[in-house]
């Protein structure tokens, strides 16, 4: 499938944008394990315009990541336009507008999912960004502000009409945050709307190969976006592709195999930042691993509190010695 001339793959599996997660090392790692299309962390438009170092660093991309999207968010059209022009200079394949982040510090200030309460402003912002840059512009949003306002079908048409090239939809409202189950029925209705010609990407609760298959076959989406399920399990892309190709579930990785993968991921994180901050960044990923192992509590605590690579590697050696062949 091509979007604005950019090849993104047939039935692409997409790494969703996640703050403090989808940095270059993690994107590189997910690409290695089968992701077809990568999204950056979302980047504050205001911070980019002010040249805040942390935000500018988020614009780092590598040629091996392509196709890659840089996502921006903000509440003011002028700063969003200026930020899009800054992003364009680093030449990602797409610029994405975040109309879906539900966290309070973003949405309550009128950015991200906050724009679901002001659709005319959302549409005008999208139109202004599209007109300001030469790169294709996409968007990501939610079903609506709350369950009484499921307005995604109208939003999709209006964003398409102002030049948005693809739309990713999370199957929850802003009020739901990440609670409950994602509702894919409205996503399916958008995809089946004869007026909609742009690709529709589905997002929400893709935690297994079976769910990914259902997203494509039952709801007809053009791509599936995977977020939280990649944390501690970046090989989920490979598992899904194996299932699509063979009809069989890939065997679970042993603890020994998982340790080899997380070690590589940790080293990429450390190289990107430094040892102390790299290890801190990886705690969230390590905390999501090795669930269900018996009598693991003490080792888990030591693993998450390890102050250095050397100390962490010692803990991994103990985990491997005790549980190496466990699944």
Task: Count CB-CB contacts under 10 A for residue 154.
Answer: 12
> Do 85 and 176 fall within a single domain?
yes
Q: Which of 246, 274, 289 is the last residue of a domain?
A: 246
Q: Are residues 191 and 118 in the same domain?
A: yes
- Each residue's pLDDT, cut to its tens digit, for the chain (327 residues) gives 999 999 999 999 999 999 989 999 999 999 999 999 999 999 999 999 998 888 999 999 999 999 999 999 999 999 999 999 999 999 999 999 999 999 998 998 999 999 999 999 999 999 999 999 999 999 999 999 999 999 999 999 999 999 999 999 999 999 999 999 999 999 999 999 999 999 999 999 999 999 999 999 999 999 999 999 999 999 999 999 999 999 999 988 999 999 999 999 999 999 999 999 999 999 999 999 998 899 999 999 999 999 999 999 999 999 999 997 775
Residue 87, judged by CB atoms within 10 A of its CB (0-12, 13-18, 19+), counts as: buried
- Residue 120 and residue 176 in one domain: yes
SS3 assignment, position 231: coil
Domain tally, the chain: 2
Q: Write down how long the chain is.
A: 327
Judge contact between 84 and 133, C-beta under 8 A. Answer: yes
DSSP 177-207: TT-S----HHHHHHHH-TT--S-EEEES---
Active site residues: 101
CATH number of domain containing 125: 3.20.20.70
For residues 241 and 295, membership in a common domain is answered with no
79 and 198 belong to one structural domain: yes
**Range(s) of the domain holding residue 208:** 2-246
H helical segments located in the chain: 24-32, 45-49, 53-57, 77-88, 104-107, 119-132, 152-161, 185-192, 209-219, 236-246, 255-272, 275-287, 297-305, 309-323
Across-strand partners of 138?
Answer: 96
Residue 204 shares a structural domain with residue 265: no
pLDDT at 327: 56
Within this chain, do residues 201 and 306 fall inside the same structural domain, yes or no?
no
Same-domain check for residues 165 and 298: no
Provide the pLDDT for residue 52.
Answer: 87
- Single pTM value for the model: 0.94
Please identify, among 246, 278, 293, the residue that sits at the C-terminal boundary of a domain.
246
Same-domain pairing of 232 and 281: no
Last residue in a domain, options 246, 268, 286:
246
Instruction: Answer yes or no: do 259 and 292 share one domain.
Output: yes
Same domain, residue pair 154 and 297: no
Shared domain check, 211 and 132: yes
Q: Give the integer Cα–Cα distance in Å for 96 and 140.
A: 7
């Amino acid at each position: 499938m091509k979007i604005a001339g950019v090849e993104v793959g047939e039935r692409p599996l997409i790494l969703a944008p996640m703050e403090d997660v989808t940095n270059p090392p993690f994107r590189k790692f997910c690409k290695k394990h089968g992701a077809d299309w990568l999204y950056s962390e979302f980047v504050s438009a205001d911070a980019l315009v002010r040249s805040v170092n942390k935000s500018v660093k988020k614009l780092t991309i590598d040629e091996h990541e392509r196709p890659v999207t840089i996502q921006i968010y903000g509440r003011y059209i002028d700063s969003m336009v200026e930020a899009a022009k800054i992003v364009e200079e680093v030449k990602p394949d797409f610029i994405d507008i975040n109309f879906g982040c539900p966290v309070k510090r973003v949405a309550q200030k009128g950015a991200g999912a906050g724009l679901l309460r002001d659709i005319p402003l959302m549409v005008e912002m999208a139109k202004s960004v599209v007109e300001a840059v030469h790169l294709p512009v996409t968007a990501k949003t939610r079903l609506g502000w709350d369950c009484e306002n499921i307005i995604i079908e109208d939003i999709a048409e209006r964003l398409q009409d102002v030049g948005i090239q693809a739309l990713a939809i999370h199957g929850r409202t802003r009020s739901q945050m990440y609670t409950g189950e994602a509702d894919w029925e409205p996503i399916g209705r958008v995809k089946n709307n004869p007026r909609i010609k742009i690709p529709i990407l589905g997002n929400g609760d893709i935690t297994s190969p079976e769910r990914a298959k259902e997203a494509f076959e039952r709801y007809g989406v053009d791509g599936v976006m995977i977020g939280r399920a990649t944390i501690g399990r970046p090989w989920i892309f490979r598992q899904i592709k194996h299932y699509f190709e063979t009809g069989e579930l890939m065997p679970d990785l042993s603890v020994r195999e998982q340790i080899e993968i997380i070690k590589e991921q940790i080293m990429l994180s450390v190289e990107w930042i430094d040892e102390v901050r790299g290890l801190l960044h990886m705690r969230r990923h390590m905390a999501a691993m090795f669930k269900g192992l018996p009598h693991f509590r003490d080792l888990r605590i030591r693993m998450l509190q390890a102050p250095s690579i050397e100390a962490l590697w010692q803990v991994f050696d103990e985990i491997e010695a005790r549980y190496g062949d466990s699944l």
